């Protein structure tokens, strides 16, 4: 059974004086879904998030939550909560005071505030931190508190603007896992902004790929990766080799779909010479120099052991995409 729509953006446009911004954005987010806006800096993803949160007014279009138009409401009147990458905790307040502030404004009793904060700190694994100040905690701990504070307000839609970008890689990975678990357990509707494709692929139910103020493709992580709608997406999501053909078309193939065999470099889809072999964790990246440029292949340790720098090899492509001249549309081959 399809879940009901929680958030809907209809034909929304927001332009700045310099002409940047977003145009004709349409997006529906279901109840309990985590949707990520993904793209490089300046593509418009944060603009969309801020219009949903009420921090920017859209020039045209509508934003609806549970079917109600919230476009003209100020941020404090919207059933949303936003978490920024800079945490935005008040430095002169303890963790408890930071978390209680919004609840006090809603005139909730002291006992209920205390009970809610205790439950939420348990949920984000921060029990016992009530009396600490922000400067006494690590970045990851502060971000947990910022997320917990937002969840306490029981928003209909939680908005997260690159919340983990200031954290180191290991902590960022842990925070992603914890956020996903909390989001799934509580069935929260989340719109998440990031420029990190790995983060988007790991977290999302669906990804909205942005480019220059417009939506390029919306789909599940698998759909976006396996069937990139445009050359831009093919190059932005994951690693991709692009090989220009004599007829003007471009063939694209992912490194995991490149199979190497020792040979005289005249067979396969293209031949070349092994330039580098690099270990990247549980797999190796082998770069092959060809007359069409470098072609990268991913290989297991066992496969990589067959090759050394300077070997002549043939590259076989298992599954490619083809782009016609002057066209950005993908054609699976």
Residue with tokens 């092959």: 288
Work out the pLDDT band at 178, boundaries 50, 70, 90.
Answer: confident
Q: What is the pLDDT of residue 171?
A: 81
- pLDDT of 246: 86
Render pLDDT for 103-124 as a digit per residue (tens, 0 to 9): 888 888 899 999 999 988 988 8
- The string of pLDDT tens digits covering residues 80-94 is 998 887 767 889 999
Cβ(27)–Cβ(55) under 8 Å?
A: no
CATH topology (fold) of 5-232:
Rossmann fold (3.40.50)
Work out the mean pLDDT of the chain and round it to a whole number. 90
Q: Can you tell me whether residue 173 is helix, strand or coil?
A: helix
246-259 pLDDT, tens digit per residue, is: 888 889 999 999 99
Overall CATH class of domain 240-332: mainly beta
Count helices and strands in the chain by DSSP H and E runs? 9, 19
Cα radius of gyration rounded to whole Å, the chain = 24
Going by C-alpha positions, the residue among 179, 125, 115, 127 that lies closest to residue 152 is 115
142-170 confidence digits (pLDDT tens): 888 888 888 888 899 999 998 888 778 88
Q: What is the DSSP letter of 301?
A: H
pLDDT at 331: 54
Q: Identify the pLDDT of residue 42.
A: 87
- Of 272, 297, 295, which is closest to residue 284 (Cα–Cα)? 297
Residue 322 near residue 251, CB atoms below 8 Å: yes
Domain edges within the chain: 5-232, 240-332
Q: What is the pTM of this model?
A: 0.86
Q: Provide the β-strand partners of residue 82.
A: 159
The percentage of the chain sitting over the pLDDT mark of 90, rounded to a whole number, equals: 58
């Amino acid at each position: 059974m399809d879940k009901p729509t929680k958030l809907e953006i209809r034909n929304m446009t927001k332009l700045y004086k310099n002409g940047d911004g977003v145009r004709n954005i349409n997006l529906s987010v279901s109840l309990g879904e985590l949707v990520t806006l993904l793209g490089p800096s300046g593509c418009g993803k944060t603009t969309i998030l801020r219009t949903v949160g009420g921090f920017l007014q859209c020039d045209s279009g509508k934003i609806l939550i549970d079917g109600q138009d919230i476009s003209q409401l100020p941020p404090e009147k919207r059933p949303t909560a936003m978490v920024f990458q800079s945490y935005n905790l008040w430095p002169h307040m303890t963790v408890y005071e930071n978390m209680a502030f919004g609840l006090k404004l809603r005139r909730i009793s002291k006992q209920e505030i205390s009970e809610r904060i205790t439950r939420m700190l348990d949920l984000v694994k921060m029990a016992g931190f009530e009396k600490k100040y922000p400067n006494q905690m690590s970045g990851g701990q502060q971000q947990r508190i910022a997320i917990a504070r937002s969840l306490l307000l029981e928003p209909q839609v939680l908005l997260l603007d690159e919340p983990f970008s200031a954290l180191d890689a290991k902590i960022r990975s842990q925070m992603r896992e914890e956020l996903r678990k909390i989001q799934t357990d509580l069935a929260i509707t989340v719109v998440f902004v990031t420029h990190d494709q790995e983060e988007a692929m790991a977290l999302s139910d669906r990804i909205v790929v942005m480019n220059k103020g417009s939506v390029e493709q919306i789909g599940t992580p698998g759909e976006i990766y396996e069937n990139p709608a445009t050359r831009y997406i093919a190059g932005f999501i994951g690693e991709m080799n692009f090989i220009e053909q004599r007829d003007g078309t471009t063939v694209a193939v992912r490194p995991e779909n490149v199979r190497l065999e020792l040979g005289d470099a005249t067979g396969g889809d293209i031949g070349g010479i092994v330039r580098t072999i690099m270990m990247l964790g549980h797999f190796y990246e082998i770069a092959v120099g060809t007359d069409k440029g470098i072609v990268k292949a991913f290989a297991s340790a066992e496969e990589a052991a067959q090759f050394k720098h300077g070997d002549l090899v043939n590259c076989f492509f298992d599954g490619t995409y083809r782009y016609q001249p002057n066209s950005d549309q993908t054609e699976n081959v």
